[in-house]
Structure 1
Amino acid sequence: MDTFSTIGLPGRGSGRTDAWNSLWATQMSRCGFMPVDKGHFDAELRIGVMGPLKLAHLSVDHCSVERSQSDIIKSGSRAYNFLLQAYGTSTFFHCGHQSRLGEGDFVLCNTAMPHYWEADGPSTTIMVRVEPEVLREYLPTPEQFCGLHLGRAIGFADTAGAMVRSLTGQVQSGGSTAQESQVAGYLLETISLSYMMAHADGSKGSAVVWQRHRDIVQHIEAHLRDPDLSPGSIASGLRLTPRYLRTIFSASGERISAYVLRRRLEECARQMRNPAWNGHTLTEIAFSWGFNSAAHFTRSFHDHYGVAPRAYRRLQEVSGDV
């Protein structure tokens, strides 16, 4: 198992973080780590292989991590990660979902889609990385489960978590088995079955409908910052009729325009909670996420969160909730 650490990296403060981001991009996927304490940041990554799986054990100080659309464009990495919260608590934002993770919980991530992870303090996670064609042997439509929470008490998730920890420890100690691919298959089957048990209602329906719905969500997430994003532009971009677009998306129980507004508000609120954005005005944050009217943003934010943006930000600063 290869080990990488911030210890010995050049620079201090933001320089060390930049060096870590560069290292992470070469070993995993291009993204940005943002420590809460900009003057001090420690992290350690241990990587090993178990058959077709890449196991990545990450321990970090209090921080957040974002993989943006620009990171995806610049990086050719395309894979799925089952992220296990091994120590601490965190929140994962992905594909329009917000998953609160406690120890032993999983969340599925598609590295080809933007995502954001926010730790509540020092944290340890273990990522099980698998190529799309391998995962689809066990989970035919993984896209529909991306960003969804899998609690440790659901299905066989607790067993899967124990397997992930055990396999990571075995790889770390240098142990190996001639049946690595078979063991990896058991793990993928266990996690996949647990996901299907946890979200049985969502797994029903036509695979074609799910594929179309996934395409719509991916298009929205990729263009969320575009102020011209609308049902019409989405239909045009995906070469669908507006009526068919509405029919496909209606299965989610939310109108497309409502989904776009909610996601923009969620991203604005996320940045307002993040101390790294304290130097940016509320208008700058809102406009960077596709709003073109400060009044509309303020009104919509109040309707969604029950408090004005300025008061929301002030409450986060007082509570220290990042």
Structure 2
Amino acid sequence: MELCSVSGSTCPEEAGTASGREGRMERLSTAGLPVMGRTAAWNAIYSSRMSNVEFATTDQNRFDAELRIGQIGPVKLARLSVDCNYSAERARRHIVRNAPRLYNFLLQAQGSSTFHHCGHEARLSEGDIVLVDTGLPHHFVTDDVSTTIMVRVPSEVLREYLPTPEQFCGLQLGRAIGLTGTLAAMVQSLSERVEPGFSGYEGRVARYLLEMISMSYTMGFESVSTGSATLWQRRNEIVRYVEDNLRDPELTPASIAAALRLSPRYLRTVFSISGEKVSAYILRRRLEECARQMRNRAWNGHTLTEIAFSWGFNSAAHFTRCFRDQFGAAPRDYRRTALD
């Protein structure tokens, strides 16, 4: 999708969409877009400049967003502000296979949110950070008005500073831990200074930022198993396969090992670096996806059994028992409470 400059005429299919460059900053906005279809139009605009995702909101008549994008050397900085609670999902269908791998550090600059990625749930408050592998699915839900600042880094660049980013994906880096507060302040400041530029110092500034990210994660996750880069990359390949086939009732550690041409023993060894068995991960992720659909009013017309079976369960009794163990409530009670 081609966006037009704010200083010139707008494209017919995107009348009212503001975009343009002042210095090194590109601004995109929903301002002027018709209310009907605004969220869908924003999906297309955002996807053309960042990643393919799907935005959704409970109030289709209230969705105003602004995205500012700048570049500092190899690092892209983006500031997204939305005036209502919304969700943004990057599902399997949005991901292009063999595309260049990018990592995205999300700073919750305003508001609060819940982020789901790589089997982790991160509850973010202002100043918290979470790392995202854009090559894997993720889901983001805000509680109200919010501002998120994104630091996007190519994989080959990030690995010079953080050799095994895979082990941190989806984990919350709290603002009170180590140097996180300093890193958050630095990211905030840089996102405001991208527009006037850095007068030829972009490369040096990018290095300082990446070094600060490296120190923050090293200090913040000292207790996390490091493992080797190869093992973490292998684990993420397994996670990707599981996420792609989560709905398949025949998905088992044995079928995964066969599909990825790994021995069952090696599969267990690789996955154990995260402290969770493959079978436990599969079950937990299926339950989490069932719970997410049960909280969504759009799925009101579907029975609990339909939802469970669509995510690979083949026994209603087994699903109910596992769901109660995971969430502390029977599926029917959980759904009723969540929707109420």
In which range does the TM-score fall when normalised by the shorter chain?
over 0.9
Question: Aligned to 1:9, which of 30, 33, 52?
Answer: 33
Does the alignment pair 1:47 with 2:87? no
CA displacement at 1:215 relative to structure 2 = 2.2
Task: Look up the SS of the partner of 2:96 in the other structure.
Answer: helix
For residues 127-276 of structure 1, what are the structure 2 equivalents within 5 Å? 127-172=150-195, 174-276=196-298
Q: Quote the offset at 1:127 in angstroms.
A: 0.3
Once structures 1 and 2 are overlaid, which stretch shifts more, 213-222 or 45-54?
213-222
Q: Secondary structure at the match of 2:152?
A: strand
Q: How does 1:16-95 map to 2 (within 5 A)?
A: 16-60=38-82, 61-73=84-96, 76=99, 78-95=101-118
Q: Which amino acid aligns with 2:188?
A: R
Deviation per residue, 1:6-45 (Å, 9 max, x gap): 2222451xx1111111111101000100112123211111
In 1, the alpha carbon distance for the partners of 2:111 and 2:143 equals 7
1:88–1:122 Cα contact (<8 Å) kept = yes
SS in 2 for 1:155: coil
Q: 2:139 aligned with 1:113, yes or no?
A: no
Post-superposition offset of 1:248: 2.4
Point out where structure 2 has 5 or more consecutive residues left out of the alignment. 1-24
| TM-score w.r.t. length of structure 1 | 0.92
The change in CA–CA distance for 1:255 and 1:203 in structure 2 (over 3 A counts) is closer
Q: Which has the larger radius of gyration?
A: 2
Q: TM-score, normalised by structure 2?
A: 0.88
> Deviation of residue 136 (structure 1)?
0.7
Corresponding residue of 2:3: none
> 1:279 Cα shift?
4.0
Across the two proteins, how many residue pairs are aligned to each other? Answer: 315
Select the structure that is richer in helix. 1
**2:26 is matched by which residue type in structure 1?**
D
Aligned-partner SS, 2:307: helix
**In 1, distance between residues paired with 2:297 and 2:210?**
37
Unaligned runs of 5+ in 1: none
* 2:232 match: secondary structure: helix
Deviation of the 1:295 alpha carbon: 2.8
Larger deviation: 251-260 or 105-114? 251-260
Q: Percent identity?
A: 62
Report the Cα distance in structure 2 between the residues aligned to 1:77 and 1:48, rounded to whole angstroms. 19
Cα shift at 1:223: 1.8
Relative to structure 2, which stretch is displaced further, 215-224 or 307-316?
Answer: 215-224
CA contact (8 A) 1:6 1:42 kept: yes
In the TM superposition, residue 73 of structure 1 has moved relative to its aligned partner by 3.4
Deviation at 1:75, TM superposition (A): 9.6
Deviations along 1:254-311, one digit per CA (max 9) or x if unpaired, are: 2211110011111211222233433443233223322233332222111211211111
Pair 1:49–1:32, CA change in 2 (3 A): same
Contact 1:92 1:99 in 2 (8 A): yes
- Match of 2:222, SS state, is coil
User: What secondary structure sits across from 1:8 in the alignment?
Assistant: coil
Helix, strand or coil for the counterpart of 1:48? strand
C-alpha displacement of 1:76? 4.1
AA at the equivalent of 1:175: G
Structure number with greater CO (CA < 8 Å, separation at least 6) is: 1
Structure 2 letter corresponding to 1:150: L
